Structure 1
Amino acid sequence: MYTATLVSEVCTTRMQHLSAVSRCLVKRSSGYSCRKLCIANSQLALGDEPVLVVGSNPGLLQRLASQVEVRAGFITEEEEAALLKELEPGLKRKRYEFDHWDNAIHGYKETERATWGPSCAEVLNRVRSVAFPPGSPLLGPVHVLDLDQKGYIKPHIDSVKFCGSTIAGLNLLSASVMRLVEQDSPAERLDLLLPRYSIYIMRDEARYKFTHEILKDEESFFNGQRVPRQRRISIICRNLPS
């Protein structure tokens, strides 16, 4: 599977040249059949890996290199279908809401799920194995957030009362762009391209000192390239607060 390549915006000349070429990257990973990975009709790439994280400067990228991660193709199309099969009956009974309790989300449904069927439980165990140290105390229920096509998540920092140092989320149904902005230095910024079937992980300083948001469809651009937003479901695992 592909892991994020960190690229500074100072590489714009090379990036623009590469992004002008419409291309699909073939994912090869142990235990998974090969399939094409396409994002918004063209995939930004350096070498053989997709570029999934860009930053305002090289120092910021180096500083957060171990704290922000995106892996494309983390789950298969079949695994996504199995997760949706378990989630859709409950989500269909809910209406999209446009007033979040802390005004952080617009156009969403959310739920928590503590029990999963065997195939879905295996996927979530894989999430936990890559995101959290062995033996790390985890929040039992998994948070599920269903974002309407016209919905978005405003810049916010999750409360330290409810979750610990690490967040790991699966990205289902649609590609999207997540933006991280340092709370005390707004010029310091990362943009994360979250392809469908991907996982993102945020740890430590990136978790506590940076706001994160999911951009509106009309604002959904990654390194100058349009990333159309459809309905998006994220499945989020967290560890317990210290």
Structure 2
Amino acid sequence: MAAGGGRLVMRTLPAPGWVRGSDPAVLSRLRDAAVVKPGFLSAAEEETLSRELEPELRRRRYEYDHWDAAIHGFRETEKTLWSQASRAILERVRAAAFPPSQALLPAVHVLDLERRGFIKPHVDSVKFCGDTIAGLSLLSAGVMRLRHVQQPGQWLELLLEPGSLYVLRGPARYDFSHEILPDGESFFGERRVPRGRRISVICRSQPEGTGPGGGEGAPQPAGPTTPAPPAAK
């Protein structure tokens, strides 16, 4: 089934089909702090963003040694100039994810993970962005896992299909680490989620202090690695 057709089928699932957690308390606590909006982009809008980003990304090589070893197999850029069509999409993201009074960083963070790329558990640094991040997922699906930094038995997983928008704010940003699972671990419950190349287009609120960057690509280590919830075999 074509990617676009697959998304149309998946969009008919109820909202809980995109989020799963270790227990009802975690689901309740993060109900408004970790949100997935499936089918936020049309196929045409996804193509518009991908086509605009491809020339810039193609000039960069994939990297395998991030400055704090949190990201593997990635290339990234900060983008401030967008076409009129893409600006309209980003304005929809702003309206859907941020209150009108919240200032956003002027640069949008673009993170390109190759098929074998992944993001290790990390907590975003408060130096780089503020309370809220909102990311559009392009090209392929992935699973984002959040895990409480003090109580690792508490976790939440988000299924991020192409064309979806995810929003992390408040406790989901600072009390939980987040990661993008590598292909070998990419399950959402019993469902296998094969990894392909994945591009995230991430809008971020202004930090309390100063400094550029943030989002998925500005992590600080989350501490010792903790066991993942059991994956389907």
Q: Please, what TM-score do these two structures have when normalized by structure 2? A: 0.84
* Deviation at residue 95 of structure 1 after TM alignment: 0.7
Does structure 2 conserve the Cα–Cα contact (< 8 Å) formed by 1:171 and 1:232? yes
Between Structure 1 and Structure 2, whose CA radius of gyration is higher?
1
> Match for residue 148 of structure 1?
114
Other structure's SS at 1:85 match: helix
**Whole-angstrom distance in 2 between the partners of 1:196 and 1:125:** 19
Q: What are the equivalent positions in structure 2 for 1:175-190 lying under 5 Å apart?
A: 175-190=141-156
Other structure's SS at 2:18 match: strand
Does structure 2 conserve the Cα–Cα contact (< 8 Å) formed by 1:44 and 1:51? no
> Match for residue 53 of structure 1?
19
Query: Quick one: which of 170, 181, 195 aligns to 2:136?
Result: 170
> Structure 2 vs 1, CA of residues 96 and 226 (structure 1 numbering), >3 Å: closer, same or farther?
same
Other structure's SS at 2:51 match: helix
Letter in 1 for 2:202: I
* Deviation at residue 135 of structure 1 after TM alignment: 2.3
Query: Quick one: which of 85, 89, 92 aligns to 1:119?
Result: 85
Query: Quick one: which of 99, 102, 124 aligns to 1:158?
Result: 124
Q: What are the equivalent positions in structure 2 for 1:218-233 lying under 5 Å apart?
A: 218-233=184-199
> Match for residue 58 of structure 2?
92
> Match for residue 101 of structure 2?
135
* Deviation at residue 50 of structure 1 after TM alignment: 6.1
* Deviation at residue 224 of structure 1 after TM alignment: 1.7
* Deviation at residue 37 of structure 1 after TM alignment: 4.2
Does structure 2 conserve the Cα–Cα contact (< 8 Å) formed by 1:104 and 1:156? yes
Does structure 1 conserve the Cα–Cα contact (< 8 Å) formed by 2:133 and 2:167? yes
Higher RCO (CA 8 Å, separation ≥ 6 residues): 2
Q: Deviations over 1:166-210 (max 9, x none)?
A: 010000000100000000000000011001100000010110111
**Whole-angstrom distance in 2 between the partners of 1:49 and 1:129:** 20
> Match for residue 196 of structure 1?
162
1:241 aligns with 2:194: no
> Match for residue 74 of structure 1?
40
Letter in 2 for 1:176: G
Does structure 2 conserve the Cα–Cα contact (< 8 Å) formed by 1:139 and 1:239? yes
Letter in 1 for 2:105: L
Q: Deviations over 1:45-96 (max 9, x none)?
A: 86x5560000000011111111110011100111111111211111111110
* Deviation at residue 44 of structure 1 after TM alignment: 10
Does structure 2 conserve the Cα–Cα contact (< 8 Å) formed by 1:96 and 1:108? yes
- Report % sequence identity: 53
Q: Please, what TM-score do these two structures have when normalized by structure 1? A: 0.81
Q: Deviations over 1:199-227 (max 9, x none)?
A: 00001011011100000011100012100
How many residue pairs align between the two structures?
206
Q: What are the equivalent positions in structure 2 for 1:5-84 lying under 5 Å apart?
A: 36-38=5-7, 48-49=14-15, 51-84=17-50
**What are the ranges of 5 or more consecutive residues in structure 2 without an aligned counterpart?**
209-233
Query: Quick one: which of 161, 179, 190 aligns to 1:213?
Result: 179
**Whole-angstrom distance in 2 between the partners of 1:82 and 1:36:** 18
Root-mean-square deviation over aligned CA pairs: 1.9
Letter in 2 for 1:52: W
Bigger share in strand: 1
Does structure 2 conserve the Cα–Cα contact (< 8 Å) formed by 1:37 and 1:73? no
